[in-house]
Structure 1
C-alpha cells in the first residue's frame, strides 16, 4: 500500500514541489518513492535579504503566485499528507511573519522554518536513498542553495554522523561579491576568500575530509554537471548520479565567471532564473572539492525535497482536505469584504 504525499521546499532562490507515492514502510529501506509530479519555479524569495535583513514584498508575492499554483495541483492529485519547509531566507528575515501568514492563507498549512541542522539531515536522507551500491562510504553530502550550503557526513546504514549549515549560497555570494557582468578578477578573488573561509570552518565542524564520496545537490551542482557533460538540454535522467572530476568543475567555473549573463543565458542547459547566480554556485562547488581533497562529485537530482517527502512516511503531516477548507474560508472572507465595501 502506498501513501501519496506532497513536499514543498522553499529556499532562497527557488520553490519546488514533489508529489510522490511512498512505499509502505514494510517494503524496506531500499524501496523507492515514485514521482507523480516534480516542479520548480525561480521566485528569488531571498533577494536582498543579505543586505536588508528583510524579505522584499515583491519576492513574497512571487512566491505566493507559485505556491497557489502548487496548492491547486496538490488538491487535484489527491495528496494525503503535505509538508512545506522553508529554509535560509525565511530564517534570516526580520519580517518572516509576513511570509508565514502568506503561506497559511495560500496553502492552508504553516511553513516549517527548519534549522540548518534539520535542513542538512533532510538533504542527506533524500540524497543517500537510491545511491548506487558501489559508492564508497562515508559520504559528504553538500547542498548548495541560494542563501546557505549544508554539509552532512554519514553512511547509508548509520545515518547522519555530523551536519552543519553555512551562510554561503549562490544568491548570497553573488549579491555580496560578484556585481560585475562578468565579475572582475578582484570580485572573484573576494568571493573565493569568503567561500574558502566558510568551507574550512564547515570541514572542521564535520569530518568532510575523511569522506570517500562527495554527493552534490541542488541546481548549481546539477547545472555544472550538465555543462561538464556537454548536454544540449537539461536532462535529469542523464544528470542524476553522473560523476565529474575536479578538473572539469574548475573548467566550467572559470568559463562561467568569464561570461556575461547574456552568454550564460544562451547555454542550452541554463535555467533563466539561474543565469545570474550560477558562477557563484559553481565556485562554491569547486572550493569544496579542493578544500575537502575529493577528486570527483556525484550529482543527485534527489535532495531535501525527497527528504521532506520521506519524512511524511511516518508522520501525520498536513491533510490535503485542509487545503480546500482554507481556500474556501479565504474566498468567503474576501467575498464578505467586497460586499461590505459595496454597501
Structure 2
C-alpha cells in the first residue's frame, strides 16, 4: 500500500507492508520506502488565496517520482491526502487535475478534522509505556496545526485544526532575516490566540502527554539532542523539556537563514520557516501547561497508510 501526504510545505510518500501477525497489535508498518520533498505548495496562499503555478509544478515533479516508486514496488492500493494549502486555494481544481494526470488517482482534500484524526491514528500506535494517557497530539504543518485529544482504546475524543502553520506564520509575521523583536512578538500573539481557541475546543490542558508531529517538531528535538545528523531512530519517541524547546526556539529566531542552514540536522527547505515552527511548538507547550513533548516520526502519513488495510486486517 502507498500513502501520500501533500501539505503546505512538503509532500511525503510511504510505501509499506503489513507487520507480521506475530509482532503484536502495536507493531508498526513495515516500511518499503519513505520519502519527503520540500515543494512549498502553499507558497503565497495566505496572501493571494491561490496556488502559485511554480508551486504546482514543483509538486508535479516530486509526485511523478513518487508514482514511479509506487509502480516499482508494486503497491496495490494508493491514497493521497492533501491538506491545508489545497483546502484554502481558489484554484485547487488545477492542483487536483495535475494529481490525477500524474498519479492516476484523485487527491482527497481532507478537512481539518479528518487531518487531525489521521495524525492521531499514525502517532499513538507504539507509543512507549511512560507516555501516559490521555494524549494531546499536535501536528504542526506548513499552513495549519492540528490538535487532537484521545486515548488508544477510545480513539479521538476531540479535534480541531487552526491556521498557524510554519509557512503561514513566516509569511505573515517573520520577513526579517533574522526577524526583529516586534515581528516575533506579533507572531507569538497571533499563535497564542489560535492556541487558546484550540485548547478551548479540545481538553488539551487535561492531557497527560503532549505528542508532537511533523518536521518542525522533529527538527527542534534533533537540535535539542545535539545530533550531528538527522537520525529518525533517535528522534522517534524522544522526550524533550519545555526549557530545551524554549532555548532552541530563541536560538533559531536569533539566527539568519544562512546560520540556520549550517545546523547539521537542518533540511535546506525548512531553514526559512523553522523559527516559526519552533515558536508554534513553544507557545503550545506554554499555553497547555506541558513541561515536555514526546516527538513522533509517525504521523498523518502512517495514519493514511493504516486506512488502506483490507477489511478484517
Name the counterpart of 1:111.
107
Tell me how far apart the structure 2 counterparts of residues 208 and 69 of structure 1 sit (CA, whole Å). Answer: 39
Distance 2:244 2:9 in 1: 25
The offset of 1:292, in angstroms, is: 0.3
Question: CA offset at residue 135 of structure 1?
Answer: 1.4
Partner Cα separation in structure 1 for residue 215 and residue 207 of structure 2: 22
Whether 1:7 aligns to 2:8 is no
Preserved CA contact (<8 Å) 1:25 1:313: no
Matched residue, 2:306: 310
Equivalences for residues 27-46 of structure 1 within 5 A: 29-46=25-42
Counterpart position of 1:206: 202
Give how far 1:24 is off: 7.2
Q: After TM superposition, list the pairs within 5 Å mapping 1:183-332 onto structure 2.
A: 183-314=179-310
Residue 133 of structure 1 deviates from its aligned partner by 2.2
Match of 1:333 in 2: none
CA distance in 1, matches of 2:212, 2:96: 29
Deviation at 1:22, TM superposition (A): 1.7
**Aligned-residue offset at 1:80:** 1.0
Separation of aligned partners in 1, 2:90 and 2:101: 20
Displaced runs of 4 or more, over 2 A: 23-29
CA RMSD of aligned residues (A): 1.2
Contact 1:208–1:292, Cα closer than 8 Å, also in 2:
yes
Residues 245 and 297 in structure 1, CA contact (< 8 A), matched pair in contact too: yes
Structure 2, unaligned runs of 5 or more: none
Deviation at 1:29, TM superposition (A): 3.1
SS for the counterpart of 2:157 is: strand
Question: Do 1:12 and 1:89's aligned partners in 2 also have CA atoms closer than 8 Å?
Answer: yes
Whole-angstrom CA distance in 1 between matches of 2:152 and 2:21:
17
Deviations 1:57-82 (A, max 9, x none): 00000000000000000000010100
Q: How does 1:118-197 map to 2 (within 5 A)?
A: 118-197=114-193
Deviations 1:132-166 (A, max 9, x none): 12310000000000000000000011100000000
Report SS of the residue matched to 1:273: helix
TM-score by length of 2: 0.98
Query: Shift of the alpha carbon at 1:314?
Result: 3.4
**Deviation for aligned residue 1:27:** 7.3
Structure 2: how far apart are the matches of 1:158 and 1:253? 34
CA shift at 1:297, angstroms? 0.1
Q: TM-score scaled to structure 1, two decimals?
A: 0.89
1:97 is matched with 93
Give the distance between the partners of 2:75 and 2:29, measured in 1 at CA: 14
Gaps of 5+ in 1: 316-343
In our comparison, the structure showing a higher alpha carbon Rg is 1
Q: How many residues align?
A: 311
Verify: 1:58 aligned to 2:21, yes or no.
no
Alpha-carbon distance in structure 2 between the residues aligned to 1:90 and 1:118: 14
Q: 2-side partners of 1:127 and 1:84: how far apart? A: 18
Q: How many angstroms does 1:26 deviate by? A: 9.7
1:23 CA displacement: 3.7
